[in-house]
Amino acid sequence: MTIVYEARTGRHGVPLIDGVDKVTGRALYTADLDRAGALVGVILRSPVAHAEIIRVDTSKARALDGVAAVLTGADCRVAYGVLPIAMNEYPLARDRVRYRGEPVAAVAAIDETTAQRALELIEIEYRELPAYFESTDARAPDAVLLHDNKPGNVEREVHHDFGDLDAGFAAADLVREHRVCCAEINHAQIEPHACLAEFDPSSGRLTVQDVSQVVYYLHLMLARCLEMDEAQIRVIKPFVGGGFGARVEVLNFEIVTAMLARAAGGKVFMQLTREETFLTHRSRPQTDVVLKLGMRKDGRFTACACEVTQRGGAYAGYGVVTILYAGALLQGIYDIPAIKYDGYRVYANLPPCGAMRGHGGVNTRFAFETLVDKMARELGLDPFAVRRANLLRAPTQTMNGLMVQSYGLAECLDAVERASGWKERFGRMPAGKALGMACSHYVSGSAKPIHFTGEPHAVIHLKLDHDGGVTALTGAADIGQGSSTMVAIAVAETLGVGLDRIRVVSSDTAITPKDNGAYSSRITFMVGNAAIAAAQNLKMLLVEAAAKKLESAPEEIVCDGGVFRVGQGGQAALSFKEVVSAALIDEGAISVKGSFTCPVEFQGGKHRGGAVGSTMGFSYAAQVVETSVDDATGQVSVDKVWVALDCGRAINPLAVAGQIEGSVWMGMGQALCEETRYLDGLAAHASFLDYRMPTIVESPAIEAFIVESKDPNGPFGAKEASEGALAGFPPALVSAIGHAIGVDLLELPATPDRLLEAIGKRRQKAAAAARKQRAAS
Amino acid sequence: MHGSARPRKRLLRVEINGRWREDAVLDGALLVDYLRETVRLTSVKTGCDGGECGACTVLLDGVAVSACLTLAVRCEGRSVETVEGLLKQGRPSRLQQAFHERLGAQCGFCTPGMIMASEALLRRNPHPSDDEIRAALAGNLCRCTGYVKIIESVKAASEASS
Ligand code: FES
Ligand code: FES
């Protein structure tokens, strides 16, 4: 197997600094922690999709031997939510339940059997209300409101209008519109949700160890919902078995576990089943997109109008941000003179959706790229040529105020066109086989954080002591993407020392500085820059100490390979350890920090919602997918993928390649087979057998190319690498299916039943055309 | 009715990672819970509600099985191996090293199961093809890697063994 990224960057990269722990079984995840003496926490869930809670009686459960605590909505006085403007959820439902599976009560008991028995003894009486499982039903004029302050069950409407739309469509040679529907999907990280909480009644302190991607939010929300002083709380992230956005928002079970621990005055462990983990999801919503595009004969885009409806589930969660992203990310990838966007985030009686890898942009990208492909076909243009006709020229600012400082999309296109043999093979493949292509992009962290406080976007602390080891303290959550390794490399490269000298401690709110965590692919850009800044500050101290010892000036000191000299190749040299000893003499153990702030001009447009989509740099990706489609069964297989990603600069090419492969594959899951299904609000998909994601058998070879456009503001020029390539897969595949068997698939995923329906339509159309021709002749 | 009929326990004699041990286990105890709770081998993960993900894969007499679908008492007199048992003097085996160096593990949650399924494969087929690797790992889900580097890791380990 060729390792293309190595050839491309000339560097292979390094394995993860915690990789050995993972392959030897030493890595401890939340469920692996020592829980001696811990009580077992369990949650009672609503059996109905929408109802008022009339009566709650927990007396029998409380009376059961071995039960330490029983909680209901009455114990939850404060609402929570990830967006300060939309906190409308309680850890346990009060007065009303809005989806099947919503937590209504919780128990901590000496063991699982007792805890489950106690749940059975809790009596709750419901008065059912009409429930809505589709956006259209929820928006019906006479629909009961899920939340009284949101008329029409619309959580947020967005209307954005940039450029002269009418003039744009008038200038087009071809205008086409289509409507696509993308199913709700799930993060389905393999580690089920789990939480270990300990409350010490004598000190009043709470310690929570948990699967979070953002320990800082969890810390904040615990303080809020438990009405505790933040200083009394400590949140620690052990190893985390994947996130993909599932664990960005604070989730009900985390708060409930902490509340149980406080109520019981001790330690409580809660692990959700796989079924419960599916319910507690915050994932990519079912999305309808109506997209209209104007194109000139030469492939230039003239205007785009897009309407998006997202079925967001029962509570706000990230909803407002998701519906804004869906519009904002129409920009920043191609040059489109006019864009109109209308978005509707709708409440429904289903578990709430939230952020998932490629947040907000994936389904609109699907609608956009597949329409481009169809229009290119109609105009007799090559899909690559159309993309090339619409490239941006960096640096530039988009109509909605997004800054594009580096832009490697042209190189990405070249790389996958060449590698896939597109010119020779496109349109010339055997029946049922074809190539398809698409482009995509994603932000490197949102330049305006959700909890805007005015503080820097990232802070790193470095500690250096007598042993000569450098410990980097970061709140950035490594959830498998390798962010701690990135921090170690950034520090080591800046200091000019080996990686073995660096330790990274991540995500313990008692020790590590506050960080906005693993979301919106922000860590490499923001935390990477902070790490470099911190290392530069440390280096300055060391250089000064070396200069003093070598009786020279700091400007004269050269540090290379951990050795300090006067001038390049100078005779007098000090080892790293010697310099550390010298530096400690006056002050003792050294602590320095570095921070990074996104300048205000990067924080988005002035229009309402303009902060969403704003970023310091976009990653760009192009990919070609080769598929085989069985016309008789509707079965689609993916034979090969070529993908190129512009990540600015690959700080760790090995990890970048891993992220590209993983994100493309996740896009493949959404495109091929993944979807949630609800029967009257009951999750019918809540296991790995029913929620079908690709196994290794269906997973193709993915050839990943790294393009390095060297972003002027990125750490060593780097941008994000984990999300940008995802959104290109579904349109590339569906376009390939179109080329393979001549169907126009407007839904995701491309399951055999959907394909057969599309094939049936194609046959009917062909038969009608034949009849017409016969009649005419 | 709490505690009226004490659930039956019996003495289990089993070889785990090369060491024999005896423990009292419930008749209905699952191997995964026995390994995690009693033996404290937490590399054996629980990723699903039973038989769906392969995160709990261990070797029973050299054959890969799902520990969440295996009763502990079924292992009487037999040998169980987990990823901890592949270490030699604390050093990762060639297969473990390959997963580390080739980034076959991202979040690492599927990894112990993935490595044990691969170990079973390599013992019976030291030089598998890509498709043989795919067939052997078909029951092990990974959400991070897209499997590309998992296949590369197994291949690298098999090549190193020639
Ligand atoms: S835990 Fe998923 S198969 Fe055993
Ligand atoms: S490495 Fe995360 S599930 Fe496989």
Q: What is the CATH number of the domain that holds B92?
A: 1.10.150.120
- Considering only alpha carbons, which residue of chain A is nearest residue B109? A241
A59 reaches B (C-beta below 8 A): no
Span A289-313, average pLDDT: 98
Task: Note whether B47 and B101 are same-domain residues.
Answer: no
For residues B78 and B117, membership in a common domain is answered with no
B79 lies in the same domain as B102: no
Which CATH number fits the domain that encloses residue B76? 3.10.20.30
Query: Is A699 near chain B, with CB under 8 Å?
Result: yes
**Looking at residues A67-77, what average pLDDT do you find?**
98
| Residue in B52, B112, B138 nearest the CB of A689 | B52
Give the pLDDT band of residue A681 (cuts 50, 70, 90): very high
What are the beta bridge partners of residue B81? B59
Count of domains for chain A? 3
Q: What mean pLDDT is predicted for residues B127-131?
A: 97
How far is Cα A347 from Cα A319, in angstroms, rounded to an integer?
Answer: 9
Q: Is A496 within the bounds of a domain?
A: yes
pLDDT at B160: 77
Asked if the C-beta of A118 comes within 8 angstroms of chain B's C-beta atoms, the answer is no
Q: Which residues of A590-618 are buried (b: 16+ CB within 10 A; e: fewer)?
A: bebbbbbbbeeebbbbeeebbbbbbbbbb
B3 domain-assigned: no
pLDDT digits (tens, 9 = 90+) for A600-617: 999 999 999 999 999 999
* Nearest Cα residue to atom 1 of ligand 1: B46
User: Residue A624 in contact with residue A639, Cβ under 8 Å?
Assistant: no
Distance, CA of A192 to CA of B68 (rounded, Å): 15
Closest CA to A618 of A468, A733, A503, A721: A721
Whether residues B23 and B59 fall in one domain: yes
Q: The tokens of B7 are what?
A: 């659930």
A479 and A551 in a single domain? The answer is yes
pLDDT at A393 over 50: yes
pLDDT in tens, B13-55: 999 999 999 999 999 999 999 999 999 999 999 999 999 999 9
Task: Please report which confidence band the pLDDT of residue A451 belongs to, taking 50, 70 and 90 as the band edges.
Answer: confident
Test A19 with B105 for CB contact under 8 angstroms. yes
Number of other CB atoms surrounding residue A527 within 10 Å: 32
B152 and B105 part of one domain: yes
Q: Which residues contact B90 (CB under 8 A, 6 or more apart)?
A: none
Q: Which of B37, B57, B83 is the last residue of a domain?
A: B83
Asked whether residue B30 falls in the same domain as residue B76, the answer is yes
Residue B143 Cα to ligand 2 midpoint, Å, equals: 5
Q: Which of residues 100-129 of B touch A (CB under 8 A)?
A: 100-112, 115
Does A9 score more than 90 pLDDT?
no
Query: Does the residue B2 lie in any domain?
Result: no
Which amino acid type is present at position A496? Answer: G
Q: In this structure, is residue A180 part of a structural domain?
A: no
Q: Could you tell me the strand order of the sheet in which A563-566 lies? A: A557-560, A563-566, A573-575
Q: Per-residue pLDDT for B162 more than 60?
A: no
Both structure tokens of A499: 């990686």
User: A120-174: per-residue pLDDT in tens?
Assistant: 999 999 999 999 999 999 999 999 999 999 999 999 999 999 999 999 999 999 9
Q: Is residue A160 part of a domain?
A: no
Amino acid (one-letter) located at B117: A
User: DSSP 3-state helix, strand, coil percentages of chain A (rounded to 5)?
Assistant: 35, 25, 40
- The SS3 of residue A638 is strand
- Residues A414-431 have a mean pLDDT of 97
Same-domain status, A430 and A535: no
Q: Examine the domain organization and report whether A481 and A530 are in the same domain.
A: yes
A-B contacts at Cβ under 8 angstroms: 178
Q: Distance (Å, rounded) from C-alpha A523 to C-alpha A457? A: 10
If you average pLDDT over residues A404-412, what whole number do you get? 98
The pLDDT score that the predictor gives to residue A205 is 98
Residue where a domain terminates, one of B83, B108, B132: B83
pLDDT confidence of residue A569: 76
pLDDT exceeds cutoff 90 at A494: yes
Report yes or no on B4 lying in a domain: no
Q: Which of A597, A614, A649 is the last residue of a domain?
A: A597
Residue A17 pLDDT more than 50? yes
CB A707 within 8 A of CB A408: yes
Picking from B53, B83, B113, the residue at the C-terminal end of a domain is: B83
- Residue B92 and residue B155 in one domain: yes
Do the Cβ atoms of A188 and B143 come within 8 Å?
yes
Looking at the structure, tell me whether residues A274 and A336 fall in a common domain: no
What pLDDT score does B5 carry? 67
> Is the domain of B40 the same as that of B76?
yes
The answer to whether residue B56 is domain-embedded is yes
Q: Which element (helix H / strand E) includes A621?
A: strand A618-629
What is the overall mean pLDDT for chain A? 96
Write down the pLDDT at residue A1.
33
Structural element, H or E, at residue B51: none
Q: What is the percentage of chain A residues whose pLDDT exceeds 90?
A: 95
Contact between A65 and A12 (Cβ < 8 Å): no
Phi, psi for residue A41 in degrees, rounded to 5: -100, 135
Confirm whether A510 is domain-assigned.
Answer: yes
Of ligand 1's listed atoms, the one at least distance from the Cα of B54 is 3
Average pLDDT over every residue of A682-686: 97
Domain final residue pick, A549, A573, A597? A597
Instruction: Say if residue B52 is in the same domain as residue B69.
Output: yes
User: For residues B2 and A215, what is the distance between their CA atoms, to the nearest angstrom?
Assistant: 40
Do A565 and A470 belong to one domain? yes
Q: What is the number of structural domains in chain B? A: 2
How many angstroms away from the CA of A39 is the closest CA of chain B? 15
Instruction: Give the confidence band of A728 by pLDDT, cuts at 50, 70, 90.
Output: very high
Q: Indicate whether A3 pLDDT > 70.
A: no
What six digits make up the tokens of A327?
A: 């519009």
| A400 in Cβ contact with A605 (< 8 Å) | yes
Q: What is the rounded average pLDDT of the residues A487-491?
A: 97
Q: What is the DSSP letter of A144?
A: P
A591 in the same domain as A645: no
DSSP track, A286-304: EEEEEEEEEE-TTS-EEEE
Which has the closest alpha carbon to B155: B118, B112, B105?
A: B118
**Dihedral pair phi/psi, residue A321, rounded to 5°:** -70, -40
Q: Does residue A350 lie in a domain region?
A: yes
Do A301 and A345 fall into the same domain? Answer: yes
In this prediction, residues B137-145 reach a mean pLDDT of: 98
Our mutation pick for probing the ligand 2 site, out of B99, B111, B151, B152, counting the most ligand atoms within 8 A of Cβ, is B111
Report, as an integer, the average pLDDT of A426-453.
94
Q: Please say if the pLDDT value at position A7 is more than 60.
A: no
- Predicted confidence band of residue B1 (pLDDT cuts 50, 70, 90): very low
Tell me what ipTM this predicted complex has.
Answer: 0.97
Note whether A114 and A211 are same-domain residues.
Answer: yes
Structural contact between residues A332 and A388, judged by C-beta atoms closer than 8 angstroms = no
Boundaries of domain holding A233: 33-129+191-241+247-280
Residues A275 and A292 in one domain: no
Torsion of CA B82, B86, B87, B89, to 10 degrees: 120
Residue A150 included in any domain: no
What is the rounded CA–CA span in Å between residue A311 and residue A133?
8
Q: What average pLDDT score do residues B150-157 get?
A: 98
- Please check the confidence at residue A504 and state whether its pLDDT lies above 80: yes
CATH at residue A717: 3.30.365.10
Compute the CA torsion angle A333, A335, A340, A344 (nearest 10 deg).
0
Q: What per-residue confidence (pLDDT) applies to A2?
A: 37
Whether A12 has a pLDDT exceeding 90, the answer reads no
pLDDT of residue A8: 60
pLDDT the model gives residue B4: 52
Whether A244 contacts chain B with CB within 8 A: yes
Same domain? B13 vs B77? yes
- Structural domain including B70 reads 9-83
Sheet containing A96-97: give its strands across: A96-97, A51-57, A123-128
With respect to residue B50, please indicate whether it lies within any of the assigned structural domains: yes
SS3 A21: helix
Ligand 2 closest atom vs CA A241: 2
Shared-domain flag, residues A656 and A713? yes
The span from the CA of A593 to the CA of A639, in Å, is 48
Same domain, B131 and B96: yes
Residues A358 and A228 in one domain: no
Nearest to A274 among B49, B82, B109 (CB): B49
**Which residues does residue A433 pair with via DSSP β-bridges, in sequence order?**
A628
User: Do A236 and A328 fall into the same domain?
Assistant: no
Cα four-point dihedral sign A331, A336, A338, A343: negative
Same domain (yes/no): B43, B79: yes
